[in-house]
Chains A and B, each alone.
Chain A
Amino acid sequence: MTASTATPARFRPGSTAKVGLLTVIASEVFFFATALSAYFFLRLEHPEWSLPAHTPTGLWAPSLNSLLFLASAVVIWRAERAAAADRPRAAQLALGATLVLGLVFIGGQIFDFSQSGLKPDDATFGGIFLALIGFHAVHVLAGMIYLGITLARARVGDFSAKHHTSITLCAWFWYFVVAVWLVLFGALYLI
């Protein structure tokens, strides 16, 4: 008889949250995939769009920005490892550094777009460019809010080497926004 009143092994809050976040990310992947499809659909109808010449700053500024953003994924990975190794101070530093790098990225995006001279009503290229980086920036901001809350919780000692699911989930979401940016960067600037 396997019946028992004990909480079954499946009822683990940590893993439930992980499955939940993975489901969210799966849905978000489809969101960006459909948005990118819209971009390519419009681009096929407009062979005159010449890439990446639309940015007067050239590829330097966006590339540097992307590299820094990629570095932020490594930093938050270090935060997760530090939390698991019971080094709370190092984990907090790394979370804070990720937050700063996120802010730098958003600043860089605003700079790049203002330099490009593109406008939303700019015969669809400006529109779809703005829409894609805008949709992505909103996700980065959401990730930063999540990071901020997690950092605040880390500072009051909410986490331990065993229990730091929020930091792990935060890192997963951050990997996701960084990965999406790499794809968008390739589509908007390189190919």
Chain B
Amino acid sequence: MTTHAEALSAPQAAAGSGQGLLSWVMTVDHKRIGIMYLVTATAFFVAGGLLALLMRTQLAQPNGTVLSNAAYNEIFTMHGTTMIFLAIMPLGAGFGNYFVPLMIGARDMAFPKLNALSYWLYLFGGLFLFSSFLFGGAPDAGWFSYAPLTEKLYSINHGMDYWGLSVLILGTATTIGSINFVVTTIQMRAPGMSFTRMPMFVWMTFVTSVIAIFALPSLTTATLLLLLDRLVGTHFYNVSAGGSALLWQHLFWFFGHPEVYIMILPAMGLISEVIPVFSRKPLFGFMTVVYSGIAIGILGFTVWAHHMFATGMAIGALLFFSANSFIIGVPTGVKIFSWLATMWGGKLTFKTPLLFAIGFVALFTIGGLDGVHMAVLPVDWQITDTYYVVSHIHYVLFGGAIFGLFSAMYYWFPKMSGRRLSETLGKWQFWLMFIGMNLTFFPMHVLGLLGMPRRIYTYADNLGWGIWNLIETVGAYLIALGILFFLINFFRTMASAPTNEPDPWDAFTLEWKASSPPAPYNFAEIPSVRSRRPLWDEKYPDKADWKQAE
């Protein structure tokens, strides 16, 4: 029996388990690729965070002089592009790479070489984008690159060309990765791991991947047309020559809104793993959470023009997109109630992963409700392009996605490294980030209502915006301090001796059945599955889920 497993694992062990730099460059092991994704994405997250600190320093006081207007444009563009394409998406992909095969009881992804290709494309695309700082100027038209600002006439350096090309490279990387997740999930599940028994993180990665496969082509089209405009001389987005600036907005947001769910659904999956384990209960309403994820995925394609309410659309279109934007709040709310109901009556142990997960639920709820405000047409007309919008996206993507990702980092770190991160430092990090996050982004609601537009590089001192901006800057530095605590925690933990506990949290799913860190072949024996909590069944045969079901 074991001979067979060894025979299967032998080639993988040769390719993916050696030591030294070259073994990492050559690896096709999903776990190593996952770690490379996580490390690279964390580095880009820190870089994007430093850009944000520069902006907050500039805006701390009226008439700031830290940055010039041109530098400010480059920095907010690079901050947004970095956080979305180089930090949040690849952090999700990193956890997906590491844990989807383990959670479904497989030995690797369906296409290990393609998996390596998508990582290296991602790294190259990211470095290429950042190299624009060195070679003639970074892109400066904002992360959604509105036409005609991006046309050659208005964006004269090569920054937008860098942006376009790296978006194409990163989009290709994500598409390849998503195809790999979809095929892996369909084809590689262990015996008994039916779709209805798949862990929620696998489910959400699957839905996310399907969304990416259908949403990214629109960005590819938009960007190809943009590059043709800039490099070949076509006029797709040039209104004066018969093109249309709105065409960019439609193509971009048809990708851009599903993109929001590409960033948030993996994090929702992550906390759906953490909350049950630290509440000692199964996830409440499992299939409802699955269906709501699918509903979000589908509805996400029908709300894109709510980013364009101020463009003078026909009334029918306005109402359609407004109504759908309300409706998409319903499946999102369903998930929030499911997490609350899972914790309700559970034996909660407030370890760092659970703190970040609860932080996610609280902050994401605020951000989500902001989103509902903006579905109201007259409200949107009032606050569009103000700091209210900036507040909304940071509550959902920082308070939501990033908190979810840190929850998973603390939860799965023992599996990936054989060591637990320090709880003390973790709790410091959580509270610094939680308080800093609210100090930074809550006052943006007020500034938005006071009419402060987003993306201005400075403001006059008689507008009454100074005090709120100062509070925000203090908050931003608290967040940075929290991230510093994480980095210290990471390096200190990695310097300590591993304990290699296979299952430190007494968890439910298959990744905890493998050793910590897992062998290159993951499982000597492919596990078989009889319920949604296969490891629970194995550890507590008297209370096994499949017995309860009978």
Contacts and interface: CB of A to CB of B under 8 A. Distances in A.
Nearest to A1: B528
B71 interface: no
A20 interface: yes
Contacts of B191: 2-4, 8
Contact of B525 (A5, A7, A19): A5
A71 interface: no
B187 A10 contact: yes
A30 to B, nearest CB: 4
Contacts of B175: 27
Contact of A2 (B8, B192, B241, B247): B192
A34 interface: yes
Majority secondary structure, B binding face: helix
A6 B4 CA distance: 8
Interface string B434-472: 000000000000000000000000000000000000000
Interface residues of A, number: 41
Given A34-B254, A127-B235, A27 B214 contact: yes
A38 interface: yes
B251 A34 contact: yes
A189 B421 CA distance: 64
Contact of B235 (A5, A8, A37, A124): A124
B214 A30 contact: yes
A120 B528 contact: no
Nearest to B241: A123
Interface stretch (B36-44, B219-227, B270-278, B345-353): B219-227
Interface residues of B, number: 47
Nearest to A127: B234
B527 interface: yes
B528 A41 contact: no
Given A5-B1, A121-B234, A124-B241, A11 B179 contact: no
Majority secondary structure, A binding face: helix
Given A124-B235, A131-B228, A19 B242 contact: no
A14 B527 CA distance: 23
A19 B218 contact: no
Nearest to A32: B217
B213 interface: yes
Interface in B238-253: 241-244, 247, 250-251
A84 interface: no
A111 interface: no
B110 interface: yes
A183 interface: no
B228 A124 contact: no
A99 to B, nearest CB: 26
Nearest to A130: B234
Contacts of A127: 228, 234-236
Given A1-B528, A38-B236, A124-B243, A27 B183 contact: no
B251 A131 contact: no
Nearest to A19: B183
A112 interface: no
Interface string A4-37: 1111101110011001100110111011011101
A110 interface: no
Contacts of A24: 179
Contact of A20 (B179, B216, B254, B527): B179
B30 to A, nearest CB: 15
B219 to A, nearest CB: 9
A172 B319 CA distance: 41
A42 B247 contact: yes
Contacts of B216: 27
A128 interface: yes
A87 interface: no
A177 to B, nearest CB: 15
B5 interface: yes
B224 A131 contact: yes
B188 A120 contact: no
B233 interface: yes
B526 interface: yes
A41 B228 CA distance: 17
B473 to A, nearest CB: 40
Contacts of B233: 120-121
Contact of B234 (A6, A12, A131): A131
A153 interface: no
Nearest to B181: A23
A34 B219 CA distance: 9
A125 B179 CA distance: 34
Contacts of A31: 217, 220-221
A32 B6 CA distance: 45
Contact of B251 (A19, A26, A38): A38
B526 A8 contact: yes
27 contacts: A2-B528, A5-B1, A5-B2, A5-B5, A10-B187, A10-B188, A10-B189, A19-B187, A23-B182, A26-B213, A26-B214, A27-B217, A33-B217, A34-B221, A34-B254, A35-B221, A37-B250, A42-B236, A45-B244, A121-B241, A124-B243, A126-B234, A127-B228, A127-B234, A131-B225, A131-B228, A131-B236
Given A3-B191, A23-B183, 4 more contacts: A27-B216, A41-B247, A46-B242, A135-B224
Q: Which 7 A-B pairs have the closest CB atoms?
A: A127-B234, A31-B217, A3-B528, A123-B242, A30-B217, A34-B218, A34-B221
Interface of B: 1-2, 4-5, 8, 110-111, 175, 179, 182-183, 186-192, 213-218, 220-222, 224-225, 228, 232-236, 241-244, 247, 250-251, 254, 525-528
